[in-house]
Structure 1
Amino acid sequence: MSEPDQRERLKQLDAKIAKVKATNTPKPAQEEHYSQAQQGWRMVTELVAGLGIGFGIGYGLDVLLGTIPIFLVLFTFLGFAAGVKTMMRTAQEFQSAQAAPVAKDEEKG
């Protein structure tokens, strides 16, 4: 083989190696950790919001109707259930978002 032909093949090989390294570089651990913390806080906020809204509706109904705090307890439980349901939906969304790149990599391999 001639010298220019080998140089061209080496350049092509270097380009392929650089391309593979660029696609397979792992994310910095700090960014991933920040993303996980952000997801956790989102889920906590959803639960607290559900509880707060349920508490507010129940308290408001009890004040308007002059009843014992039965609506407060009832709507607090309903708000908790709604918050948990929203949290579970968010967790499923995050799980499917993480599974999508893995499935894509398996198709390529």
Structure 2
Amino acid sequence: MTDPDDKAKMDALNARLAAVKEVHAPKPRTPDHHSQAQLAWRMVIELVAGLGIGFGMGYGLDALFGTSPWFMIVFIFLGFAAGVKTMMRSAEEVQSKQAAELAEEQDDRPQG
């Protein structure tokens, strides 16, 4: 046997709780139009950094041992391989992040 005053109090409490939840609800994500450009620049920088480091190491070893240009050629190729490997790792990271976001969006959809 519920008292009408208790029901009114509960309704008022539920309304206040709903208002607070609405205020603190997470805002929908806005799409970042620059994310693809940022990803492309990141990959370019990783490749160039690998080439630059390989060139520097090879040039330094050639200067040290007097074997110009053999170490430089070898280390440029090694730097290129390292840059490509880093680019692939970045691409896999972004792909897994996008897959997780897609799965999260599908879980949030109402079923029915």
Say yes or no: TM over 0.5: yes
| Distance (Å, rounded) in 1 between the aligned partners of 2:27 and 2:95 | 21
| Distance (Å, rounded) in 2 between the aligned partners of 1:35 and 1:108 | 23
Q: How does 1:1-109 map to 2 (within 5 A)?
A: 27-28=30-31, 32-109=32-109
Deviation of 1:50 (Å): 0.2
Deviating 4+ runs (over 6 angstroms): none
Deviation of 1:93 (Å): 0.5
SS at match of 2:33: helix
Deviation of 1:92 (Å): 0.6
Unaligned 5+ runs, structure 1:
1-7
- The total of aligned residue pairs comes to 89
Q: TM-score scaled to structure 2, two decimals?
A: 0.69
Q: TM-score scaled to structure 1, two decimals?
A: 0.71
SS at match of 1:33: coil
- Bigger Rg over Cα: 2
Deviations 1:5-52 (A, max 9, x none): xxx9xxx9xx8xxx7xx8895725xxx221111111011000000000
Q: What RMSD in Å do the two structures reach over aligned CA positions?
A: 2.2
What percent identity do the matched residue pairs reach? 62
